[in-house]
Amino acid sequence: MSHMVKIEEKLYQNRYIVDESRPHIHIRSADVCSGSCSAKPCTVCCPAACYTLGEDGGVTLATDGCLECGTCRVICQDNKNIAWDYPRGGYGISYKFG
């Protein structure tokens, strides 16, 4: 079984209150992603596909679709390369149903 999945179509259904230019998650060092981390599990595990492989072999993070689950922080703990925080109060994903 293989089905093309457009994650954007899923995220489009959700309500977000975006905190413009104040992302709540940061990659600490781009060099760690493009260098010592060969597996880059964040690019597979993130349920909102916030992490994408760049052409330069690095990882790009866009937090706008983040579901605030915490998975990326848990899988990156050996490298400690993700600084993870909640958005400011009232911002981020706002589930209508949950």
Q: Which residues bind another protein (CB under 8 A)?
A: 1-3, 5, 7, 10-11, 13-14, 17, 39, 41, 44-49, 67-71, 73-75, 77, 85-90, 92-98
Least Å from the CB of residue 79 to another protein: 12
d(CA 97, CA 84): 25
d(CA 87, CA 98): 18
Least Å from the CB of residue 54 to another protein: 18
Least Å from the CB of residue 11 to another protein: 7
Give the SS3 label for residue 52.
strand
User: Which of 57/77 has CB closer to another protein?
Assistant: 77
User: Which of 27/82 has CB closer to another protein?
Assistant: 82
**Measured in whole angstroms, how far is the alpha carbon of residue 79 from the centre of its chain?**
16
d(CA 54, CA 77): 21
